[in-house]
Amino acid sequence: MRLNLLLWWLLTVTNAVDILASRRAYELGIEELNPLISMLLAEHGLLSIVVLKGFWLFLLLRLLPYLQGWTQALFACACLAYFALAVVHLSHSNLLLFG
């Protein structure tokens, strides 16, 4: 359970960074490649993304005690892949957060 909670926190922080980067990119006129996020930003604003990601993170938090064995390994791989993607995304566009 401790590993799952650590991974959940990693995913939560990564999602917060992703939200900030998406907001900054949208302000700069850079197209969001995720069609769902793009539609939410255009039609409902940043709060809709926060609500959506918050809902999924809350749901995942409730499921953490049930992640064991292969599901825990899959969760770990998904968290690390999302983190790596966020790091690569930010390293190629460092102006997004601070430009």
Walk along the chain (99 residues) in steps of 10 and give the mean pLDDT of each run. 91 88 80 86 91 94 92 92 82 57
Position 98 scores a pLDDT of 54
Q: How many domains does the chain have?
A: 1
Position 66 scores a pLDDT of 92
| C-alpha–C-alpha distance, residues 53 and 48, integer Å | 9
Q: Residue 38, Cβ neighbours under 10 Å: how many?
A: 14
- Give pTM, 2 decimals: 0.81
> Per the structure block, which two tokens stand in for 26?
């949208």
Position 17 scores a pLDDT of 84
What range does the domain containing 29 cover? 2-98
Position 96 scores a pLDDT of 52
Contacts of 35 (CB under 8 A, 6+ apart): none
